[in-house]
Structure 1
Amino acid sequence: MTFTVKNTLALVLLSTASFATLAQTPLKGCAAKEANIQQQLDYAKAHNNSGRIAGLEKALSEVRANCTDASLQAQREDNVREKEQKVEERQQDLKEAQASGRSDKIEKRERKLQEALSELTEAKAALQR
């Protein structure tokens, strides 16, 4: 098969498009965690924050040495279960406050329930990262 300039150009464009698509694929699991820490580290270095740099370098080292996607997923699943339990507790607290009829307690318990629901939503979103 003879490659013409037109065929070669088309091949180069297709390859470039493939690499661009790969570069846009969001990172997941430990790779995402490592990239996040690296981004924070770069920012800390740019701003000469030596205390933050030391902590982030340690965190990056630990992620590289110990993180596996399976362990990270298990951690995140545990976190979701904890948040679900917290929501259940807050729902029960709200029922008790409603039974007491005190509006100040009801408002406080509703606010706490909303916070717990928000934390649960964040924990579930982390499962996808």
Structure 2
Amino acid sequence: MFSVTVRDHMMVAHSFRGETFGPAQALHGATFLVDATFRRAALDADGIVVDIAAAARELNAILAAFHLRNLDDDPSLAGRNTTTEVLAQVIADRLVERVHAGAFGPGARELAGVTVTLHESHVAWAGYERGL
């Protein structure tokens, strides 16, 4: 399996519901380093997994919807604790929607999967992997 990863970041504010989260139940900020990895079994006719520029552009566009915003106010996330794991899934799902919409070009039709990893710090991260 071949893979290509692009990286970006976002800074958000959010709060959590539930005793599990202790002080994080209050509004707080988080900065995430975000990796999006695209996989496929065989390279396309151009010898690539996916157009890296398109992958970077699409990841940036998805993160721009969250960057410097309070996630508690985002209607698309209403009713969910915006944990690192949940955000990884939301971003991966939106990337797959953009692949299916053609934003990555025709070569992306053969992608097998996408993995999104959000790094909370240099010692903690979470991710979500899904097929296409």
- What TM-score do the two structures reach when normalised by structure 2? 0.27
Select the structure that is richer in helix: 1
Higher relative contact order (CA 8 A, sep 6+): 2
- What TM-score do the two structures reach when normalised by structure 1? 0.27
Structure (1 or 2) with the larger CA radius of gyration:
1
